[in-house]
Structure 1
């Protein structure tokens, strides 16, 4: 071969080069570091400012509800003082004269102007005075709730602030009671005054002003009835219907907290709720504010701060990237020249001369000198490699066996005969994983473990392996493998493959035909004797190695054997012909195999006689299986030539105990048990132990007529 003409030197690199992947990644890391640090700092500032804003709102609302609660408590206390002054002016004699009481309340003590209604009752519950808006009313007009408040004060002898009264008396109101005492301290009577809920003396409408869409001031009772609300239509409604306040109120009820005077706040995702109580009337003042509306100005300021932070971060990132790009230009030029060198090496062209390399100092200059030395070494090694490749390829093409060289689990070199054997081309296999020529991952792992074991023990591998051709068919090969370096298997392994698929298939087919019945596909008599003999030999070995227990009992049986003989089978042969008889035998064989596949195996002994071996099966379990087989055969009613036939099966069962020493003795005992089943009426299961009959090793006795 003639060498190609040398090409011109590569063009000089442009003045500005894009840095390589490493420098670009460093630029990206620097930009991300600037962005991350800026974002974290901005987030921390934003989070801190948000928390501070929420804290201030919470403190402000908490103080507000406490002030309102104290204000309302002072109004309650003022009302009680007025009523206490009235009570101090009432003498026992006045209770006997309603006119004197009315003059005292309207003229002497103008309490009527303070309270909307006033009542005076004696200690026996008799109502002596009932004023409403300064007018005397009948005792029957008194609301039951008001009458109940008077009665409780007479009984307890203590002042009382009633629950909300919203009866027939008109607007909702609250009643204050004060007991009248004699000189000896006993209760003389009671005086009471009621205030309308929305009166100036109690909860004036102006208390909730100024109204704000983002905040509501609410006064409600312990049971959740709203007494005052920024929205007048919500008065006497339920707190459970208030957004934001409902979950706080429900949690407060669940915890059964007492009504206390100090305020407390709850921050929720959408609302900030502050509450303070008035212990005496058991009322609660709450301020419910919408978080988003309250913090909207802060959110705007935070967005502006974020935009400024983003602009600053972008500027810093651009400066950092530009500076790093300028500093990386010498390295980028060297990378450009290295790519040019790679292209010329791939195309077998002349590499660049010394004048083509960039001139630089420091680490880049050292790299330039290293590259120049590598180029010279590469030229020399390429010449030697070309010579060896030609020689090696000639050897592979002329070899009469398949040759494969693998390295680190990859197919490095594949010979022509190996490609023909596996159905691939050399390009399809070279450089591919060795797993490609195996049927499954499990097969690949199993063969790998086998190879490693033999390599470790013998330093080489010699055995048969099943590969998978490209078309999906299996191919068997005699494989010999040896490491290129004896002390390092992964350094490379040479494999020699010889196709033995045809010979192996012939061997397998011949072995199967020798051990199976051609008609039923079950084990034949010879295979049955061999397998049962192996089972009994294993049992004998275990019995000899295990000592008898301390009671001297003989070891228990090691399984059961069933001897099956079809009932009335000759009728099918005589009436429907031998083809029908063969079909019956095939069906019965499939039935037996499917029933005992998980716990044992079946065999055809000859004619219509079958045997089933159940290793390790106890007597009770064996009898149950035998009964299942009998029922299954009897339930099948074949039909041939327009006529149905009823079959049965007589089954003899024998336990594999110590008295049965060989296969003929087992068959004889099972045959005798089957004979017992025939004699007892057919289509049944009979069990016989070896001690019930004289065991003869010469063969089995003939059964009676079928």
Structure 2
């Protein structure tokens, strides 16, 4: 590590002096008093005219954004009326006949052509028709945000204007929903229409006319997404990036003000910002104008007036400039020193003591001290950053698994273990495309599609991938990937690589097939019985603790019996392929969370077991609760429908009273039965006395 450096004492900056300072000051002050009266008079006139002009500009701009907000609000209301007309033409019989419904929406109702896309769903959530651009589309292609809007309308029974459904700028849209009612007033279904953001029915490009080079007209949502802009390239951007508008929007969010239709105007340092809202869609119209550009005509007139007074004030202004230059000499020297420091810092930072700081009192002296403190603080921060970089690199180099961070298909960080696994040096991979690690473009594309599908369904990736070493030989790795920011791959992805080439080779052997379940890759029932039997035999050979409860506290181990809740719903609705995918994913969850402290097996159907040797009761309960929460948090989606799963877990402690595999399994199964009987999706524990009693009952029944 580099030893800390401290700024050396400041050197005196070179100065200059003028002859006769006292006389010069008195002359300058006298002349300044003469010229000052003219300056003050001109300033008062200029200020009064500027305030009046500003008042008129503020009033005009406030009225303008209110008019635009009312215009857009009327467009929203018109879209709802058109959708209400469409809903009035849909009868209950049409919901039972998709062909009649399709004919009505494609040819029977001219009002349908107003929308870019339309959907009709029944009261049970079944999507009966999905039209996009006048053509039928699959129900599975419906955006989750659109599906959520349909569901909320069915539940509330009220019309709805959705939040912005964002995608590409050309595909961003707003969805209008209208419930369909039976004669008794109950909800029969829902009809929805979507308008693209830039369509004539919503925010056409012509809305920003008349264009003004000195002003920007924006429409944005409450969360700051720009819907319309005088500059088309800024659409779908963020208000926080808009000069002048960003601080006003930030203060508005901090005050949590509601979106109202009344216009307000804020005067910033260099901008005039007027805002008016549309309460129904929660949109805001804003006009941002540079104050200097709006007041340019007035400034021209003022400039002419100033030219008339310039002759009488010329001498005074020159003398004032000389006085200010003399009095501001320490500040000028400080500025020179700061610029010198900045230039040197960009060239790898020489010793700070070489910078000449001026000696001065008052505010300038305080600024000198502040700059010196900032130089020292910057040096410490640079050292701290170097320390953190070294620690981060040390973590990467010491990790037993490969770690890779990628963004937009580029390998940004590659750990030493990953380089060794793949046969490259760090310089050969860092900053290069991820395509380098695959045998060909087809394999790279296939893995990319697989990763996209896993992230869409599970929010992460966990699977086996075959990479190509630098020497052309394949290497298999268990790959786990998660976004640097949750549920967002665009912000970068962290990948953990574990070399499983030897395990893959073992999978091809007959012994592996005999001991593992082909679907989930976990141990099968025979292997489970064999491994648990060996564990019980090994434990029985150890001397027993004198205290009956000591084995529970020390942790001879625990066995978990897991039975999925509502698994048959997935099989019945989404099919057995979806059910198999659920079993595989649950197996991955179990293996990834317990492989460091135990092992898992599939006993059959949707029943699993986890053995945690040497695990205390409290630790076993914590692991069981973590497994239960992980399964509950996962919401798989198949055929356009989301499913909620749970798992009932029975836990039994391996103590001296449980001598064989059947008694252990029976006790754990009974604990799982207790969990199901208590309401499912919970963890139930059977202690030694309960497990012994259950085992005796099992032997008696046998």
What TM-score bracket applies, with the shorter chain setting the length?
Answer: 0.3 to 0.5
> What TM-score do you get using the length of structure 1 for normalisation?
0.39
